[in-house]
Amino acid sequence: MPTAKEGVLAQIASVKSSNSREHMESTVRSFLASYARKDVDTRIGLFADDIHFVDLIGVEPMVGKPMLEKFFRDTIAYGFDIEMNPERIVIIEDEALSVTRAACLPR
C-alpha cells in the first residue's frame, strides 16, 4: 500500500501540462513585474474572465475581472508603490507557486 506522500506524487505525475515550464515561469514573472510598472492592463490580461482571486492583505475574495481590475487600479490610486521580487518559482504541471518578497511603499 502506497504512503500518503507516494499517493500525492502519483497524482501529480498523472497530470499532463498544456503549457511549457518556460511559459509558466514567464507568466509568473510578468505578473509580478507588472506591479512595479503599474501595468494593470498586462496584469489583468493574465486572468480568465471568471477569476476567483484572494489577496492575502485581508480583503474579501474577488470574483471576475471587473472586480479584480478595480482592486488593482484602486491600489495604485491610493498611492502605493509595490515591488514583487520572486525568490523561488515552483512549477508543477499547470500550477505555479511563487515565493515572493513584496514591498509596499507609500509614495
Average pLDDT over residues 27-53: 94
Q: What pLDDT is stored for residue 12 in this prediction? A: 66
Q: Which residues of 19-35 are buried (b: 16+ CB within 10 A; e: fewer)?
A: eeeeebbeebeebbbbb
What's the first-to-final CA gap in the chain, in angstroms? Answer: 58
Percent of the chain with pLDDT over 70: 93
Q: How confident is the model at residue 13 (pLDDT cuts 50, 70, 90)?
A: low
Give the cell for residue 71.
482592486
pLDDT exceeds cutoff 80 at 25: yes
* More confident site: 93 or 63: 63
* More confident site: 16 or 29: 29
Q: What contacts 27, CB < 8 A, 6 or more positions away? A: 46, 96
Contact assessment for residue 102 and residue 84, using Cβ atoms and an 8 Å cutoff: yes
